[in-house]
Amino acid sequence: MTDGTGAAGSGPGRPGSVEWVLPAEPGAVRVVRSQVREALERWGLAPLGDMTVLLVSELVTNALRHASGPIGVRMYARRERAAGDPVLLVEVSDPLTDPPRERVATPEDESGRGLQLVARSALRWGARAGATGKTVWFELALPG
């Protein structure tokens, strides 16, 4: 992953890919929100900004709460294999190997709704284990 400075293989109005490595610090959420929105605007995908920023924020916040090392964020456009529908794929990686657990939050709970929000808002989402942690991902439909 890069140091968070930018895009690989992209240009104005042309989706490519971006990767960031964020420190496990509270300010990481604010930083990634801004970077995700800027990348989507560069690619001409500003209409996806609010939802993408919200879901990335939830996953990065989860990583901050449960993991202690750097957090990787990767975002790129791709064609869905089966249907050929274009999607925006976003991945958030952290060094914790435990899989994410979707829980049911009560009205009184101040947290616990992040994965529910991802599950209900994304076309698809999931998680996979890696050699040094896990990656939680989601897909959103590209406009057009």
Does residue 18 surpass a pLDDT of 60? yes
The pTM score is 0.84
Identify the DSSP state of 14. Answer: B
- Class of the domain covering 18-141: alpha beta
pLDDT in tens, 43-80: 999 999 999 999 999 999 999 988 888 999 999 987 65
pLDDT > 90 fraction of the chain, expressed in percent and rounded: 59
> How far lies 125's CA from each of 26, 73, 76, 81, 140, in Å?
24, 15, 15, 15, 9
Radius of gyration from C-alpha coordinates of the chain:
15
Q: Which of 9-13, 23-27, 128-132 has the lowest mean pLDDT?
A: 9-13
